[in-house]
């Protein structure tokens, strides 16, 4: 069959003109069907930017876990908070956060950080099924896992993200969203997978959005749709495979013709 869509200029074609409505409806149905099929192909993942040593009392929320940065010898502000020692060096603070997220020992407590009674040791590890790792560029990566600190797996976890970090430039690259919007389901036996993600204003502010797959990506294709389902031709945004084998989208700032908030990015990747 012929491929009339190749003759369409996405910037000039007007679906409202007489004769184009039927074609527009067919194209839109194809796009919706594609989104339905590709919705959960990558490992659900989120990136926390942490380029400034947090202030004592700052928090990072991951699902039911609230991690509070506390100086050694201090107290958490709520007994249910998980204490993360704020070290003198930022790299050590980040490492302490990763350890707290990955540890899976219910009885693990801090010996020098206490609950509000200044006597009982504070909690020291999280409960969500996630794996945390430190990335280059002052970032911490979270991936859905088989268990706390376990092997990354395709999943669609309902884990809400939040933070009260003092440094305005720090925070979740994806924004304070639920991780069930950020991927899921394992790769196919042929080691290919696809996923879609709606771009948020926070991603544009942070300048990146990372797509993590269950394998090292060797090739991929990327497609961008507006919230209305029209193909967007971008100019300054870029996609690349990172050293870790994931797909990184670098966002230019959200102004047309570049990717904007509420646009949908579809990535199909191969090992």
Please write the tens of the pLDDT for every residue from 161-172.
999 999 999 999
**Phi then psi dihedrals of residue 180, to 5 deg:** -70, -5
Helix (H) or strand (E) holding 113: strand 109-114
**Is a pLDDT exceeding 90 seen at residue 2?**
no
> From residue 139, how far is each of 91, 97, 193 by CA, in Å?
10, 11, 25
Instruction: Quote the pTM value.
Output: 0.66
What confidence tens digit (pLDDT) does each residue in 10-44 have?
Answer: 333 344 444 444 433 433 333 333 333 333 457 88
Task: For the chain, state the CA radius of gyration.
Answer: 21
- For tokens 């603070």, the residue is 93
* Chain-centroid distance, C-alpha 149: 17
Q: With pLDDT > 70 as the criterion, what percentage of the chain qualifies?
A: 81
From the list 8, 46, 6, 20, the residue with the least C-alpha distance to 163 is 46
- Are 126 and 101 in contact by the 8 Å Cβ rule? The answer is yes
In this prediction, residues 98-118 reach a mean pLDDT of 87
- Are 122 and 82 in contact by the 8 Å Cβ rule? The answer is yes
Domain regions of the chain by residue span: 16-42+184-271, 48-182
**Is pLDDT larger for residue 10 or for residue 77?**
77
Size of the chain, expressed as the number of residues it contains = 271
Question: The domain 16-42+184-271: what is its CATH number?
Answer: 2.60.40
Pairing mode of beta strands 65-70, 82-85? parallel
């Amino acid at each position: 069959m012929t491929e009339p869509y190749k003759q369409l200029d996405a910037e000039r074609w007007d679906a409202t003109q007489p004769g184009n409505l039927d074609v527009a409806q067919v194209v839109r149905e194809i796009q919706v069907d594609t989104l339905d099929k590709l919705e959960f192909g990558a490992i659900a993942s989120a990136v926390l930017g942490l380029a400034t040593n947090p202030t004592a009392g700052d928090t990072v929320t991951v699902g039911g876990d609230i991690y509070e940065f506390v100086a050694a010898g201090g107290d958490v502000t709520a007994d249910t908070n998980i204490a993360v020692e704020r070290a003198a060096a930022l790299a050590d603070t980040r490492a302490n956060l990763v350890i707290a997220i990955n540890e899976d020992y219910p009885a693990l407590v801090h010996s020098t950080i206490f609950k509000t009674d200044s006597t009982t040791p504070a909690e020291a590890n999280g409960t969500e099924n996630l794996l945390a790792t430190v990335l280059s560029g002052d970032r911490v990566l979270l991936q859905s896992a088989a268990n706390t600190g376990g092997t990354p797996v395709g999943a669609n976890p309902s884990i809400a993200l939040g933070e009260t970090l003092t440094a305005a430039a720090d925070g979740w690259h994806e924004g304070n969203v639920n991780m069930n919007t950020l991927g899921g389901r394992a790769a196919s036996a042929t080691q290919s997978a696809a996923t879609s993600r709606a771009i948020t204003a926070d991603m544009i502010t942070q300048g990146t959005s990372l797509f993590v797959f269950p394998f090292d990506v060797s090739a991929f294709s990327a497609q961008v749709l507006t919230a209305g389902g029209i193909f967007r031709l971008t100019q300054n945004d870029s996609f690349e495979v990172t050293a870790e084998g994931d797909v990184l989208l670098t966002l230019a700032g959200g102004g047309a013709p570049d990717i904007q908030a509420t646009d949908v990015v579809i990535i199909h990747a191969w090992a």
